[in-house]
Amino acid sequence: MMPHVFVYGTLRRGGRNDIARYRPAPVWIGEASIAGTLYDLGAYPGVVLGGTRRVRGEVYVVEPAVEAALDVLEEVAADGSGEYIKRQVRVEVGGQGLDCLVYEIHPARIAGRRVIESGDWIAHAARGDAWFSQPKD
């Protein structure tokens, strides 16, 4: 069985790393949200799982080759010391519970970072709240 992945940042549709660019093409399942706190890391976000906040995202089915490419993009390390840690979370999509891979930011990377109150990276970036969206002087 191919894995499902929940994406919440630049991998979302319209993001600069849109997951649709990967091959074989990921299969869209639907929009969803998970329990977590979303942090602004500059050019991209990171989620810390759990708590009462919600983080918006999208669920896709991906081939193992795409999962491997995402592991490289997210700098996952086998010993848990990478930028992101790959976790499995139960996500409800259209009334169906799915076990999804989620890339959680390493806790050491969020010190001093701003929480994205909306839990929605795409909306946050579109409003110009992300550093890379700010107009240049």
Catalytic residue ranges = 74
How many Cα neighbours within 13 Å face the side chain of 112? 1
What one-character-per-residue DSSP string does the chain give?
A: -PPEEEE-STTSTTSTT-GGGSSSPPEEEEEEEEEEEEEE-SSSEEEEEEEEEEEEEEEEE--HHHHHHHHHHTTB-TTS-SSEEEEEEEEEETTEEEEEEEEEEPGGG-TTPEE-TTS-HHHHHHTT-SGGGSPP-
